[in-house]
Every structure is written in structure tokens, then in C-alpha cells.
Amino acid sequence: ERSGGLPALAEAAAKAHAALDPAHWDFFAGGAGEERTLRANEDAFACRRLVPRVLREVGEPDLAVDLLGEPLSMPVLIAPTAFHRLAHPGGEAATAVAAAAAATVMVVSMAATQPVEEIAATGAALWFQLYPQPDREFSDAVVRRAEAAGCRALVVTVDSPVFGRRERDRRNGFLDLPPGLACENMRDGTGRVRDVVMDPALGWAQVDRLRAVTGLPILLKGVLHPADARLAVEHGADALIVSNHGGRQLDGAVSTLDALPAVAAAVGGRIPVLVDGGIRRGSDVAIALALGASAVLVGRPVVWGLAAGGTDGVRAVLEALRADLRDVLTLAGAPRPGALTPDMVA
Ligand code: FNR
């Protein structure tokens, strides 16, 4: 099982593996198809090397960044992941408490197992992830609910016109949440929990439509092609997330690190570009930043932390990444995240 990365992350993964039902572990850990893209994400980082600068009077690096008006203590956010109560009874709220303690943003999945209002009650800075639903009225109602709960940006996932083929889930017969758990933000006016539906008819018109539905900043998550990055800017996206859904959608898709430079070039600094997939240590974060990302998101390591120890487990993961990133910036001669440049990656 690949669970590499910093010792604290590997330890969380090992504890999660021991604690979780094997089918649930497979749901969290797995990817689509042969898991080539899942592996490629981590491998791409392992193939790059930093070229440090010296004698730059770095002192204590300052990791803080501002993103879409949000002050973050470090350029590491929590990616949206489904079903936190499957990992730990504290669920998404337990993750949110850790996000607040770390002074970073948690992106709440549309497939969260607690109501967004309960997650927001932790006081964490939240963004809400949306799979636009074919029932547009219902979809809009979910957006308005998230906005009313205090979510400060909308992350629209665009890499999922259908569910990816997850072979582990098929083998395990893992199809749905066990009784007692539900996607609480999919309840409609009648109290019925709707299925999260993937919409193969999704197009740019839906992005334009969302602009009219919400005043929140809109990020598009799942962009890999530079032509789509250009279109996203033209359609008024406020930021992009270069992502292949952690290798869970199109197996065979390019690794996110390999996709990043062309996307960053296409965007040309007009909007922030974020990236996720396979980030497991400070040097991964630094390499992503050097190649054009304003910040990164982590998915599975947070789930491992949650399963291993609830809020404390997530905090341990985030603080390990922070401490490692601080060391890496110092050793690479970068006093701030913004001081990392493409020439510092070989
Ligand atoms: C995800 N991801 C995801 N993305 C999204 O937009 N909505 C979602 O509900 C989910 N759910 C989800 C569940 C699980 C178990 C995983 C592992 C991932 C994708 C996620 O946001 C992110 O793109 C990847 O997890 C990043 O890769 P790493 O950090 O897990 O390697």
C-alpha cells in the first residue's frame, strides 16, 4: 500500500489502515482503473529536485499567503473528500476544528456526512465543493444553503461527468454509505436525501449560470488542459485547481504536477492556480509553488489523520506539513512561498 511521505503522514496512514474496515480503507485510498494516475501523482513529485539558492538571509520563513481574500497561515488547504463520518465519528466537524486550529481553509465536500451548518459552527474558514446537479433548481438551493451557512467560496468540480471506475469498490461491493450515515447536504425540501448525480451534460453554460446564482468566488476544480484554463479565465472563474481527483476519475490522465506548468502559463497570473494530488511532504509543496501554484490541497493525508485520531490526527498531519515546508523553504533559500520560482526545480 502506498502511504509514503513524511513520517507523521505515513504513521497516520498506518493507523488508519489498522482502524478502518478494509472496504472503507479501499474507498479512501483507491483510484480509478489500474491506478496509474493515482501513482503518477506521487511519482511526478519524486522525479523533481529543488535547486536551492544560498546566502539569501532567509531567517525564519513566513508561510502565510492570501488567497481570494482569505488569509491563510500556510499555502496548504484541505481538499474536499467525501464521507468523513466513515473515517471517524467526529466527521467533517472534527476535520474543520483542525483546519481552524491550523488557520487554513477546509473545502467541504458536497458528499459530506454532516450538515454544512454544523461544520460551519466550528468557526473554520470553509469553501463548499459542488457537483452541479442536473436538477438545476436543487443545485442552486444547495449553493444558497452553503452560502447562508457562511462558506466563502464555491469549488465547482468539473472532472466528473460520470463516476470514475473504482475497481476496488467494485470488488468490495462498496456502493453506498452504511445505514445511519447520509450525504446531509443533499436533503431536499421534503427531507429526502438525494443521490449525488454526475452530469455528463455539464458545460460552460453551467459555470456562467452559477455566476448569477452566487456572489461567492468560483474556483473550477479538475482542470488539466491549458485550453480549458484559458476558457476558465474567459468565463470569469476566480481561481483554478489543477486536479485529476486524486486519480479517482480518468485513469491514464496526466499527473497534476506535469499538467501544472502549461496551465500556469496559460493563465499568465490572471487568477490563482492551485494544485492537488500526491502532495505528501514539504518539498512537494515547494515544487508545486515553484512551478506556478499559489497553494496546494491535500486529500488522503487528511482522511488518514482523521481516521487515526480525529481532530488531533488531522492537526498532526497539517502541523507536520507546516514544519517540513518551513525547513524546506529555509534550506532552499526562499523567505516566503512567493520566492520560489521555476528555475529552482530540476
Ligand atoms: C476525493 N476527492 C473529491 N473531490 C471532490 O471534488 N469532491 C469529493 O467529494 C471528493 N471526494 C473524495 C473522496 C476521497 C476518499 C478522496 C481520496 C478524494 C478528490 C480530492 O478533492 C482531491 O482532488 C484528491 O484527494 C487529491 O489527491 P490526494 O491528496 O488524495 O493525493
Residue 325: pLDDT over 70: yes
Site to substitute for ligand 1 among 27, 38, 245, most atoms within 8 A of C-beta = 245
Kindly give the distance from the C-alpha atom of residue 179 to the centroid of ligand 1, in angstroms, as a whole number: 23
- Ligand 1 atom closest to 241 (CA): 23
Pairing outcome for strands 218-223 and 273-276: unpaired
Q: What is the pLDDT of residues 99-109, one digit of tens each?
A: 999 999 999 99
Closest CA to 87 of 106, 112, 122, 119: 112
DSSP β-ladder status, 295-298 and 273-276 = parallel
251: helix, strand or coil: coil
Task: Give pLDDT, residue 175.
Answer: 86
What is the spatial distance between Cα 237 and Cα 270, in angstroms, rounded to a whole number? 10
Mean predicted confidence (pLDDT) in 160-165: 96
Averaged pLDDT score across all residues of the chain: 97
Catalytic residue (one of 24, 84, 88, 245): 245
Whose CA is closest to 332, among 58, 6, 46, 44?
Answer: 58
The ipTM estimated for the assembled molecules is 1.00
* pLDDT beyond 60 at 3: no
Q: Of 268, 270, 274, 307, whose CA–CA distance to 289 is shortest?
A: 274
Q: Which residues are annotated as a binding site?
A: 80-82, 109, 129, 131, 157, 166, 221, 243, 245, 248, 276-280, 299-300
Q: Which residue, judged by its Cα, is nearest atom 6 of ligand 1?
A: 157
Q: How many A from CA of 266 to the centre of ligand 1?
A: 25
Q: How far apart are CA 48 and CA 40, in angstroms?
A: 13
Over residues 66-85, mean pLDDT: 98
Sign of CA dihedral 302, 307, 313, 316: negative
Q: In this structure, which residue's CA is closest to atom 16 in ligand 1?
A: 81
Catalytic: 84?
Answer: no
Q: What's the pLDDT at 5?
A: 87
Q: Please determine, for residue 2, whether its predicted confidence score (pLDDT) is greater than 90.
A: no
Ligand 1 atom closest to 160 (CA): 6
CA 142 to chain centre: 20
Phi, psi torsion values for 193, nearest 5 degrees: -90, 115
User: Which residue has the CA at smallest separation from atom 3 of ligand 1?
Assistant: 81
Is the pLDDT score of 1 beyond 50?
no
Whether residue 247 contacts residue 212, with contact meaning beta carbons closer than 8 Å, is answered with no
Distance between CA 307 and CA 6 in Å, rounded? Answer: 17
211-222 CB burial, b ≥16 within 10 A, e <16? bebbebbbbbbb
Q: How many angstroms separate the CA atoms of 33 and 105, rounded? A: 31
Judge whether 34 and 322 are in contact, CB under 8 Å: no
The three-point CA angle 162-17-255 to 5° equals 45
Report if pTM > 0.80.
Answer: yes
